[in-house]
Amino acid sequence: MEITNVNEYEAIAKEKLPKMVYDYYASGAEDQWTLQENRNAFSRILFRPRILIDVSKIDMTTNVLGFKISMPIMTLSSWATSSVEEVASTGPGIRFFQLYVYKDRNVVAQLVRRAERAGFKAIALTVDTPRLGRRESDIKNRFTLPPYLTLKNFEGLDLGKMDMANDSGLASYVAGQIDRTLSWKDVQWLQTITKLPILVKGVLTAEDARMAVQAGAAGIIVSNHGARQLDYVPATIIALEEVVKAAQGKIPVFLDGGVRRGTDVFKALALGASGIFIGRPVVFSLAAEGEAGVRKVLQMMREEFELTMALSGCTSLKEITRNHITTDWDAPQARLVPKL
């Protein structure tokens, strides 16, 4: 059966993966309200397409932190079961390293140095996980890594193994290893140990966007951790505009969470994002069809995004504006048709 959209990979992954593994990837925190909302919020943003524009040539290229990429769609991994060196060896590409700050700062410094040596181009500092969110399926399943897998980046540091626990092995691991004292001072400390640009991942408010700019961050990722941390935070697409306005164009703002279609990418860019990250679609397509599945996901999203641009009358990313969409939080007068 021909797969025609990204969402279809989830059902295939569910069949192929062990229940504990599928549940780990698919679920969100507590009531999973934000998990649903991350998707649903996109459907409350509608297009205002412009017509009779020459769209025979469409340019989706963009610059991210000074690097030219073919489209504003990216992916990011964290506690991978492949090391930074293994990931880097797969070929050329712009790679960001997602960093959690461990209690032992020597571990952090070592990881950052390894990412630098392996040619990674930025650090995405995860700031929304001083403790792990309450993911009830992981508690029910007593989620832990199978014995043949380890968190590869930490193997030599005796931090690669995740033990069995009475609830979630991952929650116990985080409680034991991740630093709850993490603060803005540490964003500045990171800049003293690396020249790599630092993206702050997990910003949802204007206040924290302004703090990120002041702390010298090179960019912001608007993220609610795939709705896996604090339930009842807004969908990232809803929080995006507030963060973009607060950043005032000083640093780029990216988004992750709930992006499944090229239309979603367009909506995020119309609200001021410089690009988007996808997570679950990559994991589910990898489980379903391996590397070919991931290629297909990126290709489908690329083609859908290009089509959305064409049908909206945009030939380059800079032509995508706030006027190309209308949202249910726009002022009523903004939605009234002007009298001719």
Give the CA angle between residues 204, 207, 212 to the nearest 5°. 80
Phi, then psi, of 326 in degrees rounded to 5: -135, 140
Binding residues for FMN, as ranges, are: 77, 98, 126, 201, 223, 256-260, 279-280
Q: Which residues pair with 8 in a beta bridge?
A: none
Which residues fall within 8 angstroms of residue 48, CB to CB, at 6 or more apart? 323, 324, 325, 326
Give the strands of the sheet with 73-75, arranged side by side: 73-75, 275-278, 253-256, 219-222, 198-203, 122-126, 96-99
Q: Return the DSSP state at 260.
A: -
Which residues fall within 8 angstroms of residue 151, CB to CB, at 6 or more apart? 79, 80, 81, 145, 159, 160, 161, 162
Name the residue with tokens 């935070």: 233
Reply yes or no on whether 324 is catalytic. no
Query: Are the C-beta atoms of residues 264 and 7 closer than 8 Å to each other?
Result: no
Binding residues for glyoxylate, as ranges, are: 24, 100, 135, 225, 228
Helix or strand or coil: residue 186? helix
Which residue in the list 39, 225, 267, 324 is annotated as catalytic?
Answer: 225
Structure-block tokens of residue 102: 């461990």
Catalytic center residues: 225
